[in-house]
Amino acid sequence: MQYDWTGHAGDDSGFWRGKMKRIGLVLLAAFLALGLASHVQAETVQKAAMRDPGEILGGARHSQAKVERYARRMGSTRYIMRTIPIYYKLAPQRNIAPDVLVAQAMVETGYGRYGGDSKPWNMAGIKKGGNVGDAPRDFERPATPYAGVRMHVNHMAAYTGKSPIGKPHDRFYDARAAQKARGYWIRNIGQLGGGIWATDSTYDDKIRRILYGMSRA
């Protein structure tokens, strides 16, 4: 109960009405903000779902949790498991689908088992710059998971016409120049074979099969 200046009890209904009105406005603002955030999130998911499964640019069609679930199911090593969150952090910065890069890394590294000449943390068989061969010494050797993922994202950026994240590896410039000379930027998984990223004629099919597996995880 409130008192007026004479010391008599006053009517405090106006005080409480004002207080309740302010609380109502705060709750309304919070509700509207939550609704807007949900709308933006739903719109982002919808746009990603609209991306063709073979397209390289755009949002992820498969969530990080789903990709991690698939990776564990396939017995992926720590070289894959530790990089998945980094792909989902870095790849969207260049509008590159992180799930596509993870699938490519699984193909290139044998789910992180590294049976070829490339070694950790080289996630995509990326060679050093200049005229090099196919010996283990000719491949890049990133020191950390972050460095390996950043190099992979940047290498795809070279082929898709995107700017690199930070200072790129030497091979970035070779790949960018070669793709510019071809007269077009890579947009689809099917364009990665034929000696562009890999000579394997079934390269894109291998990536697609992994992406399909992610969709079923």
Residue 105 shares a structural domain with residue 148 = yes
CA distances from 41 to 34, 36, 46 (A): 11, 9, 9
H or E element that contains 44: helix 13-50
3-state secondary structure 151-205: HHHHHHHHHHCCCCCCCCCHHHHHHHHHHHHHCCCCCEHHHCCCCCCCCCCCHHH
Instruction: Flag whether pLDDT at 41 surpasses 80.
Output: no
Tokens of 143: 């020191």
Shared domain check, 56 and 110: yes
Instruction: Mark whether 105 and 1 lie in a shared domain.
Output: no
pTM of the model: 0.79
Burial of residue 183 (CB within 10 Å: 0-12, 13-18, 19+) is exposed
**pLDDT for residue 47 is more than 60:** no
Q: Are residues 164 and 179 in the same domain?
A: yes
Q: Which residues contact 148 (CB under 8 A, 6 or more apart)?
A: 83, 120, 121, 122, 123, 142
Q: What is the pLDDT of residues 124-161, one digit of tens each?
A: 999 999 988 999 999 999 999 999 999 999 999 999 99
pLDDT band at 11 (very low <50, low <70, confident <90, very high): low
> What's the token pair of residue 46?
């919808």
Mean pLDDT across 34-53: 54
Residues 6+ positions from 209 with CB-CB distance below 8 Å:
none
* pLDDT at site 35: 55
Residues 37 and 139 in one domain: no
Specify the pLDDT at position 3: 47
Residue 48 has pLDDT above 80, yes or no: no
Structure confidence by residue, pLDDT tens digits, 64-121: 999 999 999 999 999 999 999 999 999 999 999 999 999 999 999 999 999 988 999 9
Beta-bridged to residue 3, according to DSSP, are 9
Q: Per-residue confidence at 49, pLDDT binned at 50, 70, 90?
A: low
Are 161 and 108 part of one and the same domain? yes
Residues 173 and 197 in one domain: yes
User: Where does a domain end: 17, 35, 50?
Assistant: 50
Q: Which domain holds residue 124?
A: 52-216
Question: In the chain, how many domains are there?
Answer: 2
Using one digit for the tens of pLDDT, what is the confidence trace for 16-25?
Answer: 666 666 776 6
CATH of the domain at 177: 1.10.530.10
Give tens-digit pLDDT for 189-217. 999 998 999 999 999 999 999 999 999 99
Rg (CA), the chain: 26
